[in-house]
Amino acid sequence: MPKPPSCPQCPSRPQLWKDTTRTAPGHEDRWRWYCTHCARRWAPTPEHRLKFTVFPPAPQHPPR
């Protein structure tokens, strides 16, 4: 798991949390960064979205 970025606003540069409360099945990339220090949410960059989005594993079809 790559390291999350730090808050661009807080001087102490706290690490951001991945907030997945608004994600729904099929929309796993709709998460936001959340700073527990200033309680702000930040939109992830496209790069972060790729790196940190965890898609559910594809359903495994049993061998016939």
Contacts with Zn ion by CB under 5 A lie at 7, 9-10, 35, 37-38
What is the closest distance, in whole angstroms, from the C-beta atom of residue 9 to Zn ion in the complex? 5
- Using DSSP, state whether 42 is helix, strand or coil: strand
What is the closest distance, in whole angstroms, from the C-beta atom of residue 21 to Zn ion in the complex? 18
If the CB atoms of residues 38 and 50 are measured against Zn ion, the closer one turns out to be 38
Give the sheet arrangement for strand 17-19, strand by strand. 17-19, 32-34, 41-42
What is the closest distance, in whole angstroms, from the C-beta atom of residue 33 to Zn ion in the complex? 9
Distance separating alpha carbons of residues 33 and 24, to the nearest angstrom: 16
